Amino acid sequence: TLILTMFRHGLRVSEAVDLKWDQVDFKASSIHINRLKNGKPATHYLEGDEMRALRRLRREYANSPFIFVTERSGPLTRSTVNKLLTRSGIKAEIEFPVHPHMLRHACGYYLANKGIDTRTIQDYLGHVSITHTVRYTELSPHKFKGLWS
């Protein structure tokens, strides 16, 4: 659930470990993202698979205000998430070191390759400056699609 949420919402590791249940609206299928680095906060919709996974977590760890917790119900730390992603990359036999920020970048590239406009990606990722967002769209071949049709 952690990896899916970080990817789908382009979360920084600190944004993910700081997520609390009061930021989730199960009735509206949405989650409020408090962005770091002076980023713009936003409310994102949650897909069905995310809703099911979050409801499962809520049942398992009902006593914690944090969404992502350790087995002892304490909040996850940045270090724990870094180790989790590093180990997952090794287990998946990925040939380069894996780190959490790759999920945020993957979100940006995914949206750009779907043809989502740069301003929308900027808002979705909470970038204050569009120059941070442009790196995703510069590499997307989608911008050339249909030029000759």
Catalytic residue among 8, 12, 40, 45: 12
Name the residue among 139, 83, 115, 111 with its Cα closest to residue 8. 111
CA distance 121 to 132: 10
101 is catalytic: yes
12 is catalytic: yes
CA distance 27 to 11: 22
Please return the burial class of 15, using the count of CB atoms within 10 Å of its CB with bins 0-12, 13-18 and 19+: buried
Catalytic residue among 8, 9, 124, 127: 127
Report the interhelical angle of 130-138 vs 101-113 (nearest 10°). Answer: 70
Give the CA angle between residues 128, 131, 133 to the nearest 5°.
75
Neighbour tally for 38: CB within 10 Å: 9
Catalytic residue among 37, 114, 135, 142: 37
136 is catalytic: yes
Catalytic residue among 114, 136, 143, 145: 136
40 is catalytic: no
37 is catalytic: yes
132 is catalytic: no
Catalytic residue among 58, 101, 105, 132: 101
Catalytic residue among 8, 9, 104, 124: 104
Residues tagged active-site: 12, 37, 101, 104, 127, 136
